[in-house]
Amino acid sequence: MSKNVKLIVVTKNFNMDKIYPIIKAGHINFGENKVQEATYKWVDFLKNNKDINLHLLGKLQSNKVPQAVNIFDYIHSLDSEKLANKLMQEENKQNKKLKYFIQVNISEEPQKNGIVANKVKEFRQFCVHDLKLDVRGLMCIPSAEGDPSQFFKKMAEIKKKNNLTELSMGMSNDYECAIQNGATFVRVGSKIFTES
């Protein structure tokens, strides 16, 4: 894996007994899908391990924003003005700055969350200029149908147009394709835990 690509080890459904050997080996980027599971598993551990970066990868519900701001360093699922406003208010309350990825519904599937491609610029400006959120990049989960590279290429173009530095894309089954198309963060869980 290239030095420019960071691996997020996705730890959902795995307990700390399984995760600890990976931390001991020096890995610092870990991802969870749910705020409640992350809080239960990580909150005590993080008190004494400040160098760990915890990434929220799943959908963030408004009522979970206070807990999310408290425990996470990165949110990869920023997908609405309502959520952005809540996060800004909570950052101010807790005096903490997080790093954000705008979730893009790159395959424009009605069942998926995210901002459609032609609204990314406007949404990014709102988050950065109006709310002063630290938006680092874009995240996508491409359609399960067909070749993901077409969606990853499109994401790279949107990133460039918006002068962003990071792309969070690629999971256990397509991370190599994502890296070839400019991913800077890949999210891998099952491949690590089932093959280790």
DSSP state of 115: B
Write down the pLDDT at residue 8.
96
Is residue 88 domain-resident?
yes
Is residue 6's pLDDT more than 90? yes
List pLDDT tens digits, range 119-177. Answer: 999 999 999 999 999 999 999 988 887 788 999 999 999 999 999 999 999 998 899 99
Cα–Cα distance measured from residue 170 to residue 188, given in angstroms and rounded to the nearest whole number: 8
Is residue 37 domain-resident?
yes
Write down the pLDDT at residue 196.
46
Question: Can you give the CATH number for the domain in which 74 is found?
Answer: 3.20.20.10
Q: Average model confidence (pLDDT) for the chain?
A: 92
Amino acid of residue 196: S
Higher pLDDT: 112 or 178? It is 178
- Domain span at residue 22 reads 6-195
Q: At what angle do helices 16-24 and 35-47 cross, to 10 degrees?
A: 50
Work out how many domains the chain is built from and give that number. Answer: 1
Is residue 133 domain-resident?
yes
Is residue 132 domain-resident?
yes
Is residue 143 domain-resident?
yes
Q: Mean of the pLDDT values across residues 11-28?
A: 92
Considering 9-18, 71-80, 135-144, the range whose residues carry the highest mean pLDDT is 71-80
**Furthest-apart CA pair in the chain: how many Å?**
45
